[in-house]
Amino acid sequence: MRTQVGIVGAGPAGLFLAHLLHLTGIEAVIVEAKSRRYVEERIRAGVLEQGVRDLLVETGIGERMKLEGLLHHGINLRFGGEKRRIDFSDLADGQAVTVYSQHEVVKDLVAARIGAGGTIIFEAEDVRADGFEGQHPVIRFTAGGERHELFCDYIAGCDGSHGICRSSIPEGALTSFERVYPFAWLGILARAAPASEELIYAQHERGFALLSMRSPTISRLYVQVDPHEDLANWPDDRIWEELQIRLGGGTGWQLTEGPVLQKGITAMRSFVTEPMQYGRLFLAGDAAHIVPPTGAKGMNLAIADVRVLARALQSFYETGRTDRLEAYSATCLRRIWKVQRFSWWMTSMLHHFPEHTPFDHRRQLAELDYVTSSRVGGATLAENYVGLPFDDP
C-alpha cells in the first residue's frame, strides 16, 4: 500500500488531520488499533473552544454540532459558599464554548472520511512506524490476519499518550517535561437533567468537583479522588453524596440525581515532549502532550496541532518547500506551553493538594475572589477558556 501521509490513530487528531488533508487534495490513510464502534463510543472530552467550533463549521463537518451542541457564554466558579459567573460575552469579546462530546466529533469525522472514500483501517494489530529517519517511512501492521506495509512520504503520530509513535523515536532525541498531580478525577455520565445550565467548577475543602452536561437529559460530573483510588470504593450513592456536598456546599441547591450510565477514573498530569518531530515522523495531540483536564483543553490542543501540520503539508505538496514542516514543532509548542500554563493554573486554583496548609487554602480563595471580581482577572480566565487565537503564520 502507498499513500502520501500515513496516520497512526483515529482519535480527534488523526481524523481531523485526514479531513483537512483531504480538503486540500492530499491523500492519507489512517491505521487505528481499536474498532470503529470503540472509538465512536469512547467517552472523553466535551468542551470545544470557539476557534475549534469555527474550524469544524468552516471545513464542513459542523452541521450536527451546530444542531446538537450547547453554546455556553459563561462558566461558574463555586467557592467559599458562593457561586460566581465568568461571563465570556462580556470578558472575551462575545466568544463562547460549545459543549459537544468528543465521541460525537469522532463520529462526524469518521462518517466524513468514509463518505469521501477515505481509508481507515480499524483493529490493526502490532502497529510499527519505521523508516522515518530516512526518505522512506513505512507503517507496518497486521489486519485480517495478514501483515501489511503502508509506504508514505510522512507519518503523523496521532496515537495518543500510550501509542507507539513517540516511543519509536530513538532515545535521547526527545526531551520530556512532566508534572504528576497527587489526585485523579472520578467521572460519571448520568441520566439526569443538568442542575445548572452552565458548567460549575467547584473548589471545596473536601476536593474539587465539576458539573458538566451532554444534553438536556444527560449530566457529566467529576469529583477529585485519590490517584490510587479503586472505583469499587465509590458506589453510586457515595458519588452523589460527595457531588451534592462539593457542588451544593450547604446552600440548599440540589443536583438532580439519576442512573449512572458510565464511570471511570482519570489520572492527572501535565506532559510535553520536545521537539514534536523526528525526521519524517510528526507527533500531534496526546502523543506529544497531556494537560490536566481542568481547563478542558486536550481535544482542542490536538485539533490546533493538526491544523498547523495540515498547513505545513499543504505547503510542501504545493511548493516543495519544507520550511513550514521544519517550523511545525516550534509553532505548536508556543500554543502548547500557554495551554499547559492555563491548565496547570486552573488545576492549582481549584483542587485540594495533600500538602496544602490553611495558608494555601486562603490563598486559593483569594485567587478565586480576584478572578471573579476583577475585570482583568476574569478576562484572563475567559480569554484562555474560550481559546487563544490561532496565531501561527
Residues that bind ligand DHB in the complex, under the rule CB under 6 A: 45-47, 199, 210, 212, 220, 293-294, 296
- Member of 3, 5, 11, 120 binding ligand FAD (CB under 6 A): 11
Sign of CA dihedral 323, 325, 330, 336: positive
Mask 100-119, x = binds ligand FAD (CB under 6 A)? Answer: --x-----------------
Q: Which stretch binds ligand FAD (CB under 6 A): 26-34, 107-115, 275-283, 350-358?
A: 26-34
* 24, 319 Cβ separation under 8 angstroms: no
Residue 33 interacting with ligand FAD (CB under 6 A) = yes
User: Is residue 299 involved in binding ligand FAD (CB under 6 A)?
Assistant: yes
**Residue 260: Cβ within 10 Å count:** 17
343's enclosing H/E stretch is: helix 323-350
Residue 34 makes contact with ligand FAD by CB under 6 A: yes
State the binding partner of 160 from ligand DHB, ligand FAD, none, CB within 5 to 8 A by kind: ligand FAD
Q: Which run of H or of E encompasses 90?
A: helix 88-91
- Catalytic (active site) residue 201: yes
**Smallest distance from ligand DHB to CB 212, Å:** 3
19 is catalytic: no
CA–CA distance, 29 with 139 (Å, rounded to integer): 10
The reply to whether 39 sits near ligand FAD by the rule CB under 6 A is yes
Nearer to ligand FAD, 142 or 374 (CB): 142
Q: Phi and psi dihedrals of 331, rounded to 5? A: -65, -50
- How many whole angstroms separate alpha carbon 170 and alpha carbon 172? 6
> Is residue 378 near ligand FAD by the rule CB under 6 A?
no
Contact partners, residue 142, CB within 8 Å, separation at least 6:
124, 125, 126, 148
Task: Give the nearest distance from C-beta 189 to ligand DHB in angstroms.
Answer: 9
* SS3 (DSSP) at 24: coil
Q: Return the DSSP state at 25.
A: T
Q: How many CB atoms lie within 10 A of CB 114?
A: 12
Single out the catalytic residue among 100, 154, 222, 385.
385
Q: Phi, psi at residue 306, to the nearest 5°? A: -75, -20
Query: Based on CB atoms, which residue is closest to ligand FAD, 44 or 107?
Result: 44
Q: Which residue in this structure is represented by grid cell 460527595?
A: 242
Q: Closest approach of Cβ 15 to ligand FAD, in Å?
A: 7
- Chain residues binding ligand FAD by CB under 6 A are 8-14, 31-34, 39, 44-47, 102, 124, 127, 158-160, 162-164, 187, 266, 285-286, 293, 296-300, 302
Active-site amino acid positions: 72, 201, 293, 297, 385
